[in-house]
Amino acid sequence: MAGPALAVPTSPSDHGLFDGGAFPPQAGGIVTYVDLGNTLASYVTQVSLTSTLSAYLTASAAAKTFLPFTGGTITGNASINGEVTLTSATGTGNAYACLNASGQLYRSSTACQ
């Protein structure tokens, strides 16, 4: 159980309540401390955390639902609103965007074959 509320010192010269003595010359600001001990132990438990967090998306569910940051496959139609940049196809000047028989998109300086 927490102790009774005490007046908080408003300047370094108001000492004794928390430290039993003078503040050192280098002290600045006000520091307070309350030892809660096990006061909150009955409020935060593994069971209550599990219950509270169960409504949120888990890492394993996300792995089955969303594409990873690298790799992954999109099946079906895909619509993109905006520009698409293929960093592996960068170069200088204009070029042809070609699609080979394996479905790979590549950059070519000559017309696609």
Q: Is the dihedral of CA 50, 52, 58, 61 positive or negative?
A: positive
**What backbone torsions phi and psi does residue 37 show, to the nearest 5 degrees?**
55, -130
pLDDT tens digit sequence for 95-107: 998 999 988 888 8
User: Which residue is associated with the tokens 């139609």?
Assistant: 77
Query: Would you say the pTM of this structure is higher than 0.85?
Result: no
pLDDT in tens, 15-39: 554 555 565 556 566 666 666 666 6
Give dist(CA 58, CA 24) in Å, integer. Answer: 49
67 pLDDT higher than 60: yes
CA atoms within 13 A on the CB side of 71: 2
